[in-house]
Chain A
């Protein structure tokens, strides 16, 4: 069976823009969406900055009767799905699948309901708290909204969730299980409880006096990641179907690699990462020299950026030095389970416009991170093949490869 999978619709909600166009405008102009936290009073936390989506009104997408019965992850992913489906421009058939990834599910609701329980008692807990918190709630709402009954599941692999979701969707289409899948990732976890936990882990940047400059992937003076929220959704279709209806094709998915590190619950490991990149290249049937750009995981922690650089060198040898590599997280922070999906959306637009997004806030070269990170300014470049990396807590690695579509 020689079935091919292409991306025909994209939609995203992030702290730099609540739709595809505003997102892309911010990315290619190197604008950060990181600000002082407004969702709760942050002054007692070590870190007081995050990537909040502030101008988002769920009522624009969801009926007022339903809005209160959904967690924020459902609000964000429904908005991104609406945009992606509209962008794909076709009527979705009943057998369309849904595979959404999320790192921690409806944690905003979880945080609120626990507070209510502690402050007021069990009678005050929302009767729909469970179906709001559960990780697959989002898929249920999307399925109901469009009447979709195709294959689906929810992927929960921390910061690799969105990438794994899209990779699994690609394989279901490639192997003939269905012809269309709505896939992507979402997380919204800027809540006081979860934020305290991130602070206690000491992995967040504490550059509170300069939020927009706080996330500095690959720069020697990087001081940690910035927590963020967002959703990224793509419509993936089997090629013949997309051609038959003359759909706009952003790119073709040609490879996917997934692996575990078998080492540490939080620290990354070069072996596992390199293995995922190699599996993806093998499936794509491409030598490393064909990759024109790597959309890095690039969180901005000391360890991540160093290990990711090592893994890229291991897979690409000397070619590593001539491939542009950049991190969107320098601008939008770390959207956890959404990050791979949002990264893939940016990569689709990179192929469309032949533009490599920058790594902003890059100020000081690090001898341990000595590749071309596209510092501070976007770059025009002919792009045919893009690799996207996602690495998550738990030692989970996901890598996607997309290619400019040609028949």
Chain B
């Protein structure tokens, strides 16, 4: 079993809710495509990150979000700001 810290858990929950997948399927190596998502789902996940974490994600970082890891990275980066 992988360990997820608090931020990772929240990111995971948002992905689960948007893609309607079993939480156990979202691992640290998951990609949005691999979980059955696409660019439109990525856009919605991104939008939820902004409201949930109260952050503003730049376009440059927005296009990087295509996996669990990249999502967590982008969220952490903007939480630090």
B57 to chain A, nearest CB (A): 10
* B40→A265 contact, CB < 8 A: yes
Docked-complex contact B59 and A202, CB < 8 angstroms: yes
Compute how far the CA of A314 lies from the CA of B74 in the bound complex, rounded to whole angstroms.
Answer: 39
B47 in the interface (beta carbon within 8 A): yes
Alpha-carbon gap, A200 to B59, bound state (A): 11
Is B62 an interface residue when CB atoms closer than 8 A count as contact?
A: yes
With A and B bound together, what is the CA distance between A351 and B47 in angstroms?
46
| Contact present for A267 and B39 (CB under 8 Å) | yes
Which B38-81 residues sit within 8 Å CB-CB of chain A?
39-40, 43, 47, 59, 62
Cα(A200)–Cα(B44), bound, Å: 9
B38, closest chain A residue (CB):
A264
B59, closest chain A residue (CB)? A202
Give the chain A neighbours of B43 by CB distance below 8 A.
200-202
B46, closest chain A residue (CB):
A202
Contact with B along A193-204 (1 / 0, CB 8 A): 000000011100
How long is the Cα–Cα vector from A169 to B61 in the complex, in angstroms?
46
What are the residues of chain A within 8 A of B62 when measuring CB–CB? 202
- A318 / chain B contacts, CB cutoff of 8 Å: none
Interface size on B, residues (CB 8 A): 6
Question: Complex Cα distance A201/B59, Å?
Answer: 11
CA distance A266 to B40 in the complex (A): 9
Bound form: Cα–Cα A202–B47 in Å? 10
Name A200's closest neighbour in chain B (CB-CB): B47
* Residues in A whose Cβ lies below 8 Å from that of B40: 265-266
Q: How far is the CA of A206 from the CA of B59 in the complex (A)?
A: 10
Distance in angstroms from B59 CB to nearest chain A CB is: 6
Residue of B nearest to A266 (CB): B40
A266 vs B62: C-alpha distance when bound (angstroms): 17
In the bound complex, how far is the Cα of B49 from the Cα of A303, in angstroms?
25
Q: What residue of chain A has the Cβ atom nearest to residue B56's Cβ?
A: A46
Q: How far is the CA of A266 from the CA of B43 in the complex (A)?
A: 12
Q: Which residue of A lies closest to B50 (CB)?
A: A200
B55 to chain A, nearest CB (A): 13
Specify which chain A residues have a CB less than 8 angstroms from the CB of B39 in the assembled complex: 267
Interface string of A165-191 (1 = CB under 8 A from B): 000000000000000000000000000
Return chain B residues, CB-CB under 8 Å to A265.
40
Chain B positions 19-35 with a Cβ under 8 Å from a chain A Cβ:
none
Name which residue of chain A comes closest to B62, CB basis.
A202
Cα–Cα distance between A13 and B11 once the two chains are bound (Å): 47
Give Cα distance in the complex from A265 to B43, angstroms: 13
For chain A, residues 241 to 280, give those with C-beta under 8 angstroms from any C-beta of chain B.
Answer: 265-267
Q: Nearest Cβ in chain A — how far from B60, in angstroms?
A: 11
B44 (CB) vs chain A CBs: closest residue: A200
Among A202, A206, A266, residue most surrounded by chain B Cβ atoms (within 10 Å):
A202
What separation, in Å, do the CA atoms of A267 and B40 have in the docked complex?
A: 10
Query: Chain B residues with Cβ under 8 A from A202's Cβ?
Result: 43, 59, 62
**Measuring CB to CB, which residues of chain A are less than 8 angstroms from any residue of chain B?**
200-202, 206, 265-267
Closest 5 CB pairs of A and B: A200-B47, A202-B59, A202-B62, A265-B40, A201-B43
Known: A206-B59, A267-B39. 8 other contacts (CB 8 A): A200-B43, A200-B47, A201-B43, A202-B43, A202-B59, A202-B62, A265-B40, A266-B40
User: Could you list 6 A-B pairs, sorted by A, with CB under 8 Å?
Assistant: A200-B43, A200-B47, A202-B43, A202-B59, A265-B40, A267-B39
